[in-house]
Amino acid sequence: MRKKTMIVAISVFLLDFVSKFFIFKFLPLDTKKFIINDFFAIYPIRNYGAAFSLFNDSNLLLITISVIILIYLLVLINKQKDTLFNYLSYGLLIGGLLGNLFDRLVFKYVRDFISFTFFDYEFAIFNVADMAICIGVILIILYSFIKEKKR
């Protein structure tokens, strides 16, 4: 299972890396480029914290937490059954963690750029790594509900 999980993780990491590279190369920082009217925009920013800018300016703490979670996940995947569900969910989590960890180590912040606005409320700006982490967590939660229901 580790090989398939790592293929997913590396794919997510590369997609995150390439998307950040091109967005931040060709669109000036803090410039909002609307793609779908006032709903979806590309808006490159620097995030010095975690989700919703929590733990702002706590880069070392966030790096430490990311490394601990990454080690835990690498140990955990060896104990999981070899299922599509498992290698997708853990691969998404690991790839997303690596994408944001790379930013924290290299830039000292995370590069975010995906922006949605719902009824004049701008949702938190995020990136591909953040999406992968959220989807991975949701899959793991769903899978645990499915396993529990089967019991």
> In this predicted model, what pLDDT tens digit does every residue of 70-103 receive, in sequence order?
999 999 998 888 888 889 999 999 999 999 999 9
Cα-flanking dihedrals φ and ψ of residue 80, to 5°? -90, 155
**What pLDDT shows up at residue 98?**
98
pLDDT in tens, 1-18: 689 999 999 999 999 999
**What pLDDT shows up at residue 52?**
67
CA distance 108 to 57: 9
Closest among 17, 1, 5, 127 to 70, alpha carbons compared: 5
What's the domain range around 97? 2-150
Catalytic residues: 112, 130
pLDDT in tens, 27-81: 999 999 999 998 999 999 999 988 766 788 889 999 999 999 999 999 999 888 8
Report which listed range, 81-85, 134-138, 144-148, is most confident. Answer: 134-138
* Greater pLDDT, 149 or 13: 13
- The number of domains in the chain is 1
